[in-house]
Amino acid sequence: MALSEPLLTIESLSKSFQQSQGAENILNDISLTLYKGSIVGIIGRSGAGKSTFLRCLNGLEKPDAGRILFGDQDLCQLNEADLRKCRQKIGVVFQTYNLLQSKTVFDNIALPLILAGIKMPFLNQRVEAVADLVGLSDKLLSYPHQLSGGQCQRVAIARALAIETEVLLCDEFTSALDPETTLDILNLLLRLRQKLGLTIVLVTHDMNVIKHCSDFVYVLDKGSVVEQGATIDILTHAQHPVTQSLLREFLKDQLPDFIQEKLHISVRDNDDVVLKLMFHDRTSTKPLISTLVQECHLPLNIIGGNLHHSGENTFGHLIVSLKHESKTLTSITTYLKDNGVSVEILGYLQW
Amino acid sequence: MVDLLVFSLLQTLLMVAASLTVGVVGGFALGTLLYRIGAQGLRPKPLLYRVLSFGVNSARSIPYIILIVLLIPFTRLLVGSSIGTLAAIVPLSLAAILLIARATEDTFKTIPKGLVEMGISLGVSHRQIILKIIFPEALSPLIDQITSITITLIGFSAMAGTVGGGGLGDLAIRYGYQRYEILFMVVIVFVLLGLVQTVQVIGNRCARYYRYY
């Protein structure tokens, strides 16, 4: 997507907490830029510092060093009154929803408006408008305990959007939801971005969330950004071990154990060769495999595989085994490589 | 006998209602302050908190009848006399303030921290976080607590006789105990029973009203 103007610029943000054994660095010199209308994912394992990073952005923690530029204002330098004004433009959605149990959906969504001193009838209009946006128009008079987790999260999103919000920060906001509801909520975010030009930061440990909606990914480990890039690049060409290990669980591109145990590195007579074919963006639409089978008269045995979609990109892998003959192997490898599919020989085995 | 009973009942009601009113206002203010400056609060002030908290605890640990006596000079200063119903309201109010302050602080502390953080991230002042976020969430359990405290105050008011405050407890002691009039004793016990029941039922209704619907 086309990059627009930067909305939020973070420059060398650092934060440490005093521990009994001395200061512990939670965030280490983190810099990133949020462009207007983009969705940025921040992924990392528990304890990587991603929540602390988000808490610095919305002012719940004060960073030790660095700058957070929102427009032309540095959030770290503002006095309390100006900071409060800025925070109203930055909405936050929490993992635990944080709804008032004693108030109806309407009152929960209206809370930021009431606190900002906005009166009826505009209050009413605004609440109904955002409730409609998140699909909760028929639940305005319900109480949070009568709603499902997904609906609660919608209320929280509506509340975050009630005031003219420019940035939405989401802290592990799908962790408590089942996969289907997660998808619903993620699609809602995509719709909101389209309708409102909202800029969204997603902090998560779930690659699915990243894959589904973010344009850009930052991988955090031990308080530092270890890898960053466009989502599709990170998903298909991850370089850093932390990213790779996060991806492994998500892509499920490993062989099952019982096959892995049979694999050996050197080839013997009558062995099958096991190949991993990796499809990257835009290559997955061609009928490569059937062409291969027809042209080379190859009996292919499919062992495993997976295709993923991220935005309009498709990528994935296929693990196949076939009779080992060095000549055919070279020709199919060349054929596939010419068509943008990389081939990796995982090993040899006797079935 | 009926005249005496009605008069004493009115005295009890006056003492409890007055001290409860003072207690709710003062106790809520003190409890909110304790919550704000506590370790988990919005503006932690450890030293002040320790001093106040110690004060509240030690005042609460003085048996009520002793508190009445201890407060006599203060009572005289405040209402001009240390004897009578008005004088009995002073120590009762202090007890109410302390009990409600502690209950307010404890109830506020049970509100999930996430709600406070939500308020901060909305860019809201501390005052509004307490009034518009914490208070509505804490109201229902707080009403439950205040109901129990009211019943405790009814119990305490029985000791008002010590400073000539009158009331049902005093009547029961003077007529039922010291004059061996069993009927007085029985009737007063039933009246007190009814009073406590009524308070409990009203309290439960209010708490339920503010719970979810």
ipTM for the predicted complex: 0.79
Across the interface, which of B120, B123, B140 has its CB nearest the CB of A102? B140
Q: How far apart are CA A94 and CA A171, in angstroms?
A: 5
Closest chain A residue to B212, measured at CA: A102
Q: At A345, phi and psi to the nearest 5? A: -85, 115
Q: Which residues of B touch A75 (CB under 8 A)?
A: none
Helix (H) or strand (E) holding A157: helix A149-162
pLDDT of residue A4: 72
Contacts 24+ apart (CB under 8 A), B40-45: B40/B109, B40/B113, B42/B116, B42/B126, B42/B129, B42/B130, B43/B126
How far does B208 lie from chain A, in Å, by closest CA? 11
* A276 touches A303 (CB < 8 A): no
| Cβ-defined contact of A96 to B125 (cutoff 8 Å) | no
Q: What is the pLDDT of residues A78-135, one digit of tens each?
A: 888 888 888 888 888 988 889 998 899 999 999 988 888 888 888 999 999 999 988 8
DSSP H helices, A204-267, are 207-213, 231-237, 241-251, 257-262
Contacts 24+ apart (CB under 8 A), A132-141: A133/A158, A133/A161, A133/A192, A133/A195, A134/A158, A134/A161, A134/A188, A134/A192, A135/A188, A136/A105, A139/A105, A140/A104, A140/A105, A140/A106, A140/A109, A141/A104, A141/A105, A141/A106
Q: CA geometry: angle at A204 spanning B112 and A80, to 5°?
A: 55
> What's the token pair of residue A340?
């943008």
Taking the Cβ of residue B58 and every Cβ of chain A, the question of whether any pair is shorter than 8 Å is answered with no
| A230, HSE (Cβ side, Cα atoms, 13 Å) | 10
* Strands A167-171 and A65-70, bridge-based pairing: unpaired
The residues pairing with A90 across neighbouring beta strands, listed in sequence order, are A167
pLDDT of residue B12: 93
Interface test with B, best of A52, A90, A101 (most B CBs within 10 A): A101
* Strands A73-74 and A272-279, bridge-based pairing: unpaired
Closest chain A residue to B111, measured at CA: A100
> What average pLDDT score do residues A299-324 get?
83
| Cβ-defined contact of A143 to B121 (cutoff 8 Å) | no
Q: What is the pLDDT of residues A192-240, one digit of tens each?
A: 888 888 999 999 888 888 888 888 999 999 888 899 988 888 888 888 8
| Cβ-defined contact of B123 to A88 (cutoff 8 Å) | yes
Choose between A63 and B98: higher pLDDT. Answer: B98
Sheet strands side by side (includes A199-204): A90-93, A167-171, A199-204, A39-43, A216-221, A224-230
Maximum mean pLDDT: which of A146-150, A249-253, A329-333: A146-150
Taking the Cβ of residue A112 and every Cβ of chain B, the question of whether any pair is shorter than 8 Å is answered with yes
Least confidently predicted of A130-144, A288-302, B25-39, B191-205: A288-302
The residues pairing with A43 across neighbouring beta strands, listed in sequence order, are A204, A219
pLDDT category, B76, cuts 50, 70, 90?
A: very high
pLDDT of residue B37: 94
Closest CA to B195 of B173, B167, B176: B167
Question: Cis ω on the peptide bond leading into residue B63 (within 30° of 0)?
Answer: no
